[in-house]
Amino acid sequence: MNLIFKEINGDNWEECIKLKVFKDQEEFVADNSYSILQSIYEKNLFPLAVYDGDTMVGFTMYEIDEEDNSMGMCRLMVDRKYQKKGYGRATVLKLLDFVKEKYGKTPFYTSFEPENIIADKLYESVGFVKTGEVFEGELAAKIDL
């Protein structure tokens, strides 16, 4: 596995919006086209295509909260063709390293639907701890970088 991040741009946005999760996961993951559009109109959102070599396998997006200078992962998805191969975990770990290298030590958050047991286990396995807070119906989790 040779994961790299690339900014979403004119060369890869169409490929990115074609990535899909399984039907039963759709309630947990915003559509990539929505996320890309959201990043255009809301500042401090940074969408990234996830590649294994030359193959796009997923999408992630992080954000910076200017109010408290915290950061967080607000999107994570792996295309259904590449699930159950370790890409989700590898993407989260790579994003944590990327953020720490680019921005330094910072509190880093994510959130997930309470019913999304897979996300809960994934985030816990890389060091996120649930904060007890609920944000727009999602459970918040934090890791200190």
The confidence score (pLDDT) of residue 32 equals: 97
Nearest residue to 75 via CA among 8, 131, 145:
8
Report whether 20 contacts 33 (CB < 8 A): no
Residues 6+ apart with CB under 8 A from 71: 62, 63, 64, 65, 99, 103, 106, 107, 108, 109
3-104 topology per CATH: Aminopeptidase (3.40.630)
Confidence band (pLDDT; 50, 70, 90) for 69? confident
DSSP string, 28-89: TS--HHHHHHHHHHSTTEEEEEEEETTEEEEEEEEEEETTTTEEEEEEEEE-GGGTTTTHHH
The confidence score (pLDDT) of residue 42 equals: 92
The confidence score (pLDDT) of residue 70 equals: 86
Residue boundaries of the structural domains of the chain = 3-104
pLDDT over 90 (residue 80): yes
Per residue in 26-64, pLDDT (tens digit) is: 999 999 999 999 999 998 999 999 999 999 999 999 999
Confidence band (pLDDT; 50, 70, 90) for 67? confident
Confidence band (pLDDT; 50, 70, 90) for 97? very high
Average of per-residue pLDDT across 107-127: 95
Could you tell me the pTM of the whole model? 0.93
